[in-house]
Amino acid sequence: MKRSRICLILLMLIAGKMRAQHDFFQYGFQTGPTRVNLYGNPFIEAFLEPEWRVTGGPAVYYPFARKWAIRSHLFFESKGSGGVIPLYDDEGEPMGIYNVKTQLRYINIPLLFDFHFGRRLRGNLTGGPFLGLLVGHRTVYTQPVSGEEIVSKGTSSFIPWDGGVIFGSGVRYGLNKRITLSLDGRFNIGMTNVISRPILSSLTIYTLSSQILFGIYYTPGYNAGKARNVN
């Protein structure tokens, strides 16, 4: 009986020590180029092409187990696409060929689960859902010869939010006890229709983006000494 109590106490101490090694947050910032596109609409897919833009924002990292962590961020993202399309008026009459650039501005928040491996230099596999709040829209149509511009603004023709899944991988490196550097590649697949009215008889458009993200994280307070074991 006494031996079983001693074993139970030892197990509790070990579990507490393991939890203490992982139960803390790192706070940081990530930014980098993103390749954006739209899909799910035959007209859009036929004429528009991906564009490169920049994204970034504050981020958090929480290692909750020896091989697992949760991460999230608050990114301001410009999604959309660009290209050359035939433009029509409200009555369906052709207006000519125009260059077009569409920007759908979102605040995106994901919930990502990391499986990581390695020691001070750690690789990771990442996946999870994301939710985006639409905060603005701007589409510019430019006549190639005259340079005349037609600007469309407002969000009344769009669903106010976007959602989907993220897959990716990356590496993290503990530069010292407080600073961790990261490099991630992610593929964001929108799975929610983002338009509320038909575009050439189609009522679906979804977002896509591929990101290369550079990050820096800070480990605050007394937890700084633990960072290298979980980066």
CA distances from 68 to 49, 166, 198, 210, 231 (A): 37, 17, 43, 23, 11
Report the domain count for the chain.
1
Looking at the whole model, is its pTM more than 0.75? yes
Residue 68 falls inside a structural domain: yes
Buried b (16+ CB within 10 A) or exposed e, 23-49: ebebebebbbebebbbebbeebeeebe
| CATH number reported for the structural domain that contains residue 95 in this entry | 2.40.160.20
- Which of 129, 14, 22 lies closest to 68, judged by CA? 22
Residue 31 falls inside a structural domain: yes
Q: Are 32 and 213 in contact (CB under 8 A)?
A: yes
Q: What is the pLDDT of residues 47-83, one digit of tens each?
A: 889 999 999 999 999 998 889 999 999 999 999 999 9
Residue 11 falls inside a structural domain: no
Rounded distance between C-alpha atoms, residue 106 and residue 134, angstroms? 5
Mean per-residue pLDDT, 122-140: 96
Q: Are 196 and 158 in contact (CB under 8 A)?
A: yes
User: Which amino acid is it at 139?
Assistant: T
Residue 18 falls inside a structural domain: no
Residue 17 falls inside a structural domain: no
Mean per-residue pLDDT, 92-108: 89
Residue 6 falls inside a structural domain: no
Residue 108 falls inside a structural domain: yes
With 50 as the cut, is the pLDDT of residue 19 above it?
no
Residue 41 falls inside a structural domain: yes
Expressed as residue numbers, the domain containing 49 is 24-229
